[in-house]
Amino acid sequence: MRSNHEIDYRIFGEEMQYVEVELDPQETAIAEAGSFMMMDDGIQMETVFGDGSQGNKGIMGKLLSAGKRLLVGESLFMTTYTNIGHGKRRVSFASPYPGKIIPLDLQQLGGKVICQKDAFLAAAKGVAIGIEFQKKLGTGLFGGEGFIMEKLEGDGMAFVHAGGHVMQRELQPGELLKIDTGCIVAFTHTVDYDIQFVGGIKNTLFGGEGVFFATLRGPGKVWIQTLPISRLAGRILSYGTYKRKEEGSILGGIGNMLDGDGW
């Protein structure tokens, strides 16, 4: 028996996906303010502090929930979508950039999943969205994207978004996976997370990929993305601000043609 609202869903699309959530009367879904796509008539929208899981715990509980979201760079507010009609109603949430939507049944995943702070898309009402501090010294100093992560707790459905292609790995007890911090989408709470330094002067000077990576030790499930939004944004920014050093009109023009910029 679930304590969170039990919602049905369907995921549509290939590269730019959206998730359609089907709500029975009085069922509610919660989502980030910018993820809404469309909904049937008979669904009531409401802006709430935090994730709405605090119920009637008072203003201090709600402010604490909202403050935790602020720490991971999210809005203080979330939007709830409640079916106030008599029949089934549908509401849809769209992915923010090319990639995949991952459905997570928290009841089947031990009640808690840790994810990147920008990965959450939507969930059933009752799922708590908070922060997960990584306590190890290495993680605290060098984690970057990984130091403060988001945690999803409850026994309902939650949906997170990942960039590019997504794969799932099942780590056995003691099995170690070394991975770029930005390529981690989520992992179950049984997985041990840390940051490792890649030693050696050659790696430091010529590695190209940086000198730190994450280590994930099983047992547990890990979801991995091939295109973190931070990497995509960095490439677009560097391409848009890069100015070719023109070493003569002919060479400069040929270079621009090869890049697809024309003359």
Residue 256, domain member (yes or no): no
**Residue the block writes with tokens 């939007």:** 79
pLDDT of residue 53: 65
Residue 249, domain member (yes or no): no
Taking a C-beta distance cutoff of 8 angstroms, is the pair 18, 92 a contact? yes
Ordered alpha helix ranges (H), 3-57: none
pLDDT of residue 261: 52
Give the residues across from 112 on adjacent strands. 153
For residue 136, what are the domain limits? 8-232
Taking only the tens place, the pLDDT of each residue in 7-54 is: 999 999 988 899 999 999 999 999 987 899 999 999 999 988 766 665
Taking a C-beta distance cutoff of 8 angstroms, is the pair 152, 131 a contact? no
Residue 159, domain member (yes or no): yes
Please list the ranges in the chain whose pLDDT falls under 50: 56-57, 60, 72, 137-146, 209, 244, 246-248, 251, 255, 257-260, 262-263
pLDDT of residue 187: 97
For the chain, the domain total comes to: 1
d(CA 183, CA 194) in angstroms, rounded, equals 14
* Peptide bond just before 219 cis, omega within 30 deg: yes
Q: Is 150 left (phi over 0), alpha (psi -120 to 50) or beta?
A: beta
Which CATH number does the domain housing residue 104 bear?
A: 3.60.160.10
pTM of the model: 0.78
Residue 242, domain member (yes or no): no
Residue 102, domain member (yes or no): yes
Helix (H, G, I), strand (E, B) or coil at 256: helix
Residue 240, domain member (yes or no): no
d(CA 205, CA 100) in angstroms, rounded, equals 35
Residue 59, domain member (yes or no): yes
Work out the number of other CB atoms within 10 angstroms of the CB of residue 177.
16
d(CA 24, CA 20) in angstroms, rounded, equals 13
d(CA 234, CA 230) in angstroms, rounded, equals 6
Residue 252, domain member (yes or no): no
Q: Using alpha carbons only, give the angle 211, 226, 29 rounded to the nearest 5 degrees.
A: 115
Integer-rounded Cα radius of gyration of the chain: 21
